[in-house]
Amino acid sequence: MKKFTLISFIVCLSFNFLNAQFYIFSVENDTYVPLEKSISITNNEIWNELNFSIPIGFDFPFYDKLIDSLHANEGSSFLIDNLDLDQDTIVFSAVIPILGEFIDLGFLEGESLSEISYLVEGESGNRICKIEWRNVGFASEIINGTGASSINIQIWLHESDGRIEFRYGESQFDNPFDINNASILIGIVGNFNDITETFDEFILLDGDPAKPSVFYLDEYQYDNYSEFSLDSFPPAGTVYTFRRSVVSTEDIRQLSSEFEIQPNPALDFISLKTKNDINSIQSVSIYNSTGALVKIVESDYDLIKVSDLNPGMYHLSILTDQGFATKRFVKM
């Protein structure tokens, strides 16, 4: 499964304004609590490039499938695979709390210092599968002798509503520029086709880990994957949540009809008006006519500066509590 690391992150930003959005992202904060009485995968044994499967304990909806297990990809990413033997095609989905190759912190000393474990809690219908990497290191540092960074991460899968949570605990970085080429890549991907290099959805986070920008990648362009990286590892207590929200083209159009841009055409500023509470808006992304992102706005939606934009047609992607809306305006 090394191929996932090599091909699936060769991407660059573009946006299809009427694509359905399967997951909506949000950030919360909660106290990180290490798992207790969990089932150990490592069993106090020294490990490196560990591949393993974890039973979820219930049928979990992920994109168009119901899955009952997750398969580790030599590190922190989990894959859901479907091999088409007739066409030699691998179609996979993945949850990526951080892209990196983990290793036991005690690998060189001959004593296990890191553990991977899981447990399932709750009653039927409300169960949660919890998976934890406790005090794990990065192979690039340990093997090269350049540091001994350690992080704590949990993935929670909720039976009740299919949401996915990435929970981050205490971390220590001795040499952050030696970890995965200094990129902190976090996100999820649905149904990546190894041959056609297409997918249902590809979400990556970027920028400030306390309030990251969310990018829904387009499948037609691939380049410069390092553009999508958090500035630093999420601080302890950070919870990244991906909630299922299958939105049809008609849903997007209906939500878009509730917004209005004034004036249009515009010269210096535009005002985003809505029939609903403007507080439901989480962010506004502005794209030019070629699909390139030119600006992200996260406040003051009633007075958005556009005087710094070149004349032409622009698209607004409006992320709300209910999903995405899109609008167009002309900059004079």
- Residue 178 is predicted with a pLDDT of 62
| pLDDT tens, residue by residue, 211-264 | 888 888 765 545 555 678 898 889 999 999 998 875 555 666 777 888 899 999
- Residue 106 is predicted with a pLDDT of 93
- Residue 52 is predicted with a pLDDT of 85
pLDDT along the chain (332 residues), means of 10: 30 36 87 96 90 89 83 72 52 85 90 95 94 91 85 94 94 71 80 77 89 77 65 93 71 79 94 75 77 78 92 84 80 92
Neighbour count for residue 115 (Cβ, 10 Å): 21
- Residue 4 is predicted with a pLDDT of 35
- Residue 278 is predicted with a pLDDT of 58
**Nearest partner of 325 among 272, 289, 262, 268, judged by Cα:** 272
Query: Which ranges in the chain are annotated with CATH 2.60.40.10?
Result: 249-331
> What global pTM score does this model have?
0.70
DSSP per-residue letters across 78-129: EEEEEEETTTTEEEEEEEESS---EE-TTTTTTS---EEEEEEESSTTS-EE
Cβ-based neighbours of 172, under 8 Å, separated by 6 or more: 149, 150, 151
Token pair listed for 314: 């622009």
Q: 249-331, which class in CATH?
A: mainly beta
Token pair listed for 238: 């950070």
Cβ-based neighbours of 243, under 8 Å, separated by 6 or more: 23, 24, 25, 26, 161, 163
CA 325, CA 319: separation in Å to the nearest integer? 7
- Residue 51 is predicted with a pLDDT of 81
